Chain A
Amino acid sequence: KNQVEQSPQSLIILEGKNCTLQCNYTVSPFSNLRWYKQDTGRGPVSLTIMTFSENTKSNGRYTATLDADTKQSSLHITASQLSDSASYICVVNPNTGNQFYFGTGTSLTVIP
């Protein structure tokens, strides 16, 4: 069964600290994995995309990693800011069909 699991479910960190969010998936065959940021009451916005051959990709203070062998991805946020408070959703796209498989998200709260 194709599944995407994220951990932790929620996280509270102090402003300026780093954090790492985890995503494990069983989706096969694999095409790409995206991390989305969703602010409360708004639609998700793509942060990074990882394809099968990529191990690390950065987008500003966001760094995503992918281990396609173990089917794990992580999103590392450096020097967190209050505006990073949001839900972070891992989405896996198989290379068959048009369906996307969504994780349940990690709710991140950054406090001053």
Chain B
Amino acid sequence: DGGITQSPKYLFRKEGQNVTLSCEQNLNHDAMYWYRQDPGQGLRLIYYSQIVNDFQKGDIAEGYSVSREKKESFPLTVTSAQKNPTAFYLCASSPRRQVVNTEAFFGQGTRLTVV
């Protein structure tokens, strides 16, 4: 089945540690995204990538880093520089924008808790 997979579902991190969230898709989508969701707030864009080996900062990129070495994978690293990392993280992918009715397909999310 085609889809987008995030792992792990739950993640605990000690303060000062870096942690990497995985996102894999087998939909042959060019674009991939990382969003952060906090209670009572909408999704906020962290980073996005429209093609392999290229990515752009979103609205809240500080304290995060990404890589796009393969079309299928877009891992997100939450660094110790992110002051408030506890949140629900969603990964999404979409076809090229030239495709009519472009839709973002979402993973099931990773809940990160800093302890």
Chain A positions near chain B (C-beta within 8 angstroms): 9, 31-32, 34, 36, 41-46, 49, 51, 89, 91, 93, 95-100, 102-105
Contact = CB atoms under 8 A, between A and B. Distances in A.
Nearest to B107: A43
A13 B6 CA distance: 33
12 contacts: A41-B109, A41-B111, A42-B109, A44-B90, A45-B106, A46-B103, A49-B103, A95-B97, A97-B97, A98-B94, A102-B42, A104-B40
A20 B78 CA distance: 38
Interface of B: 6, 31, 33, 35, 40-43, 45, 48, 50, 88, 90, 92, 94, 96-97, 101-104, 106-109, 111
A76 to B, nearest CB: 21
A9 B107 CA distance: 24
Contacts of A102: 35, 42-43
A98 B29 CA distance: 12
B106 A44 contact: yes
B102 A42 contact: no
B50 to A, nearest CB: 5
Contacts of B107: 43
Contact of A43 (B45, B97, B102, B108): B108
A98 B96 CA distance: 7
Contacts of B88: 41
A105 B108 CA distance: 17
Contact of A89 (B42, B97, B101): B42
Contact of B45 (A42, A95, A99): A99
Contacts of A51: 101
A42 B91 CA distance: 11
A105 B106 contact: no
Given A98-B31, A98-B50, A102-B42, A34 B94 contact: no
